[in-house]
Structure 1
């Protein structure tokens, strides 16, 4: 999102002079509205309800500990957590003794790891 906002900032026209150009003002007003709209979204708005779509089925030939984790909302939960999609609509955490199952209602891919200097 930072990159997108920086790009919008570069698209802005220079501040109008005393000979104000209505086109430039309208352009900058439109960019400001787009910035406000983008900033109004939270990551929770990007969650995918499990009754709408599920992630790809995991490769059952792989070690379950290597399966992808997703940011999820558990039914009745108040915070986001990460769980593994186990396939066939099942979600859980991979434990030493097997799986711990949870009723997930929404999910999204995990964000990339933060890297310093970005």
Structure 2
């Protein structure tokens, strides 16, 4: 019988130990979940604060506004580039015309001498 009592006592100690370990794990899990929930609450508050900083609290329309400004600038830059290229072409043609006129005038002066 004494061996049986020892076995029963060992089983009871094992169950108490397991119960304590389970309780510790449960408490750690609860603390982790609470920390995650607190972090999530803080992040939600930060998101609300960021959204409130946009005109009308609407970040989507603010983004669309900036996209339209960027599109306008790209269009303007393209138009300026095209205008400069056209001016360079016209200037080149005018320069060639002037050179031809100068050569013609020089030849005319040489011939009439």
Q: TM-score, normalised by structure 2?
A: 0.29
The structure with the greater share of residues assigned to strand is 1
The structure with the greater share of residues assigned to helix is 2
Choose between structure 1 and 2 for higher RCO, CA contacts under 8 A separated by at least 6 residues: 1
Q: TM-score, normalised by structure 1?
A: 0.28
